[in-house]
Amino acid sequence: MTRQDTIDGARRYELPTYPRLDIVAVRGEGARIVDADGTAYLDFYGGHAVALLGHSPGRVVEAIARQARELLFYSNVLHTPARAAAAERLARLSPWEDAQVFFSNSGAEANEAALRVARKATGRLKVAAFTGSFHGRTLGAAAACGLGEYRAAAAPLVDPADAYVFGNFNDVDGLRALVTEECAAVLVEPIQSMGGVHSMTAEFAGALRSRCDATGALLLFDEVQTAPARTGHWFCGERWDVAPDLITTAKGVAAGFPAGVLLAAGSVAATVGAGDLGSTFGGGPVACAAIDACLAELEEIDGPARAQAIEERVRTALGEAPGVDEIRGHGALLGVRLLGDGPAFAKRLREERHVLVGGCPGDTGVLRLLPPLNITDTELEQGLEAIRSLL
Ligand SMILES: Cc1ncc(COP(=O)(O)O)c(C=O)c1O
């Protein structure tokens, strides 16, 4: 299939749900993605925050291939060594001694599972969430999106509209009215990524924990984009010394293989019984082999330390650069807020310097940088120099 056939075929046969760039990705080489025409792009977008270890990382690809040869799939009705290993490693890296996990296939599904667990554990219906948030596109997850266009796209909602209540992100004083004894959960991204790369303040994190303790609502961190390791900690709460009750993650957790995870503190896990959650493919052996290999590699390279080093380098290179308003976020999830037009800058960066960056629907002036944690120093410098050259 020629390059043009690929583009034409997608237009002809796929529903037009995605605005697409004119790039035909045929190969990944570490931090680079290669177009069918041979152009290599330095990828600071990471395939939508997924390529935590770059493209086609060897250890994960080997684990996937090995597992696929041994056993491609069996459902959750049987035990598999791959699932047991992935669950053990996730639980060990989690903030709790007594964590238990549930495997799904995506971030939205993990959030749906978390909301169901919270409802069952508390016997309550309401979910408190925040303006600027994004939690996925399934009906329940979309209903909890504070970025209004995603919530509107799912309307009419399955739950009563007042089952979801919204407060302002980082508004400590607003928590008393928002989080009540009717709330099953407070669903929050520790760093709002799509919303513009806004990090929770330490004060807000502490206040969330206190308000949840006071009302019995469960604190649910949506770490689909932030965990594992991306922000300089295995899980974000470590930054503020706050442990939530539930964590969801996906995207980078299997380094590019589709997988989602719900992690629950022991006290919440104890409320879950047979049949409460389920998924045919979630927890499949290949996905779990990918998760285990990804986490093993992150442990070996000290992923959180790598993320911190990347942040330091980016802040040094761009923090004082002309045309940069501010740099937000942590680790390898950073938002560079420009004084000028973000999408126009990203287009020039792509076309003139062959560097890909993400945008933010919640703040179009922001370039989202999501480089892989194992990016080489040279590649990181090349990307930063390319950005600087166009400022
Ligand atoms: C914070 C957050 N939560 C949930 C999701 C949904 O994940 P998925 O697309 O895997 O369903 C995303 C995806 O961008 C996300 O960024």
pLDDT digits (tens, 9 = 90+) for 223-267: 999 999 999 999 999 999 999 999 999 999 999 999 999 999 999
Region 3-57+302-390: CATH code: 3.90.1150.10
Residue of 224, 249, 262 to test ligand 1 pocket, by largest number of atoms within 8 Å of CB: 224
Residue of 135, 150, 200, 360 to test ligand 1 pocket, by largest number of atoms within 8 Å of CB: 135
Q: Which pairs from 150-158 meet CB under 8 Å and 24+ separation?
A: none
Query: What number does the ligand 1 atom closest to the CA of 133 have?
Result: 1
Give, using CA atoms, the residue closest to atom 4 of ligand 1: 135
What share of the chain in percent tops pLDDT 70?
Answer: 100
Q: What are phi and psi of 117, to 5 degrees?
A: -60, -45
Measured in Å, residue 38 CA sits from the centre of ligand 1 at 30
Q: Is the pTM of this model over 0.95?
A: yes
> Where in the chain are the domains?
3-57+302-390, 59-301
Query: Is it true that 3-57+302-390 and 59-301 share their CATH fold?
Result: no
- What is the rounded CA–CA span in Å between residue 39 and residue 25? 10
Residue of 189, 223, 225 to test ligand 1 pocket, by largest number of atoms within 8 Å of CB: 225
Residue of 251, 281, 370 to test ligand 1 pocket, by largest number of atoms within 8 Å of CB: 251
Average pLDDT of span 189-200? 98
Query: What number does the ligand 1 atom closest to the CA of 258 have?
Result: 10
Measured in Å, residue 211 CA sits from the centre of ligand 1 at 26
pLDDT digits (tens, 9 = 90+) for 94-126: 999 999 999 999 999 999 999 999 999 999 999
Question: Does domain 59-301 sit in CATH 3.20.20.150?
Answer: no
Measured in Å, residue 378 CA sits from the centre of ligand 1 at 30
- What is the rounded CA–CA span in Å between residue 156 and residue 391? 43
Q: Is 225 in the pocket of ligand 1 (CB under 6 A)?
A: yes
Q: Find the farthest-apart pair of alpha carbons in the chain and give their distance in angstroms, rounded.
A: 61
**pLDDT range class, residue 161, cuts 50, 70, 90:** confident
pLDDT digits (tens, 9 = 90+) for 272-329: 999 999 999 999 999 999 999 999 999 999 999 999 999 999 999 999 999 999 999 9
Query: What number does the ligand 1 atom closest to the CA of 223 have?
Result: 1
Mean pLDDT (the chain, rounded)? 97
pLDDT digits (tens, 9 = 90+) for 133-159: 999 999 999 999 999 999 999 999 888
Residue 12 predicted with pLDDT over 90: yes
Give, using CA atoms, the residue closest to atom 16 of ligand 1: 225
Average pLDDT of span 160-172? 96
Query: What number does the ligand 1 atom closest to the CA of 251 have?
Result: 10
Measured in Å, residue 222 CA sits from the centre of ligand 1 at 9
* Tokens read off for 323: 């045309």
Q: Is 224 in the pocket of ligand 1 (CB under 6 A)?
A: yes
Instruction: Give the bridge partners for 139, in sequence order.
Output: none
Give, using CA atoms, the residue closest to atom 5 of ligand 1: 136
Nearest to residue 53, comparing CAs of 310, 298, 354, 313? 298
Give, using CA atoms, the residue closest to atom 8 of ligand 1: 107
pLDDT digits (tens, 9 = 90+) for 341-353: 999 999 999 999 9
Q: Is 222 in the pocket of ligand 1 (CB under 6 A)?
A: yes
Give, using CA atoms, the residue closest to atom 13 of ligand 1: 136
Query: What number does the ligand 1 atom closest to the CA of 110 have?
Result: 11
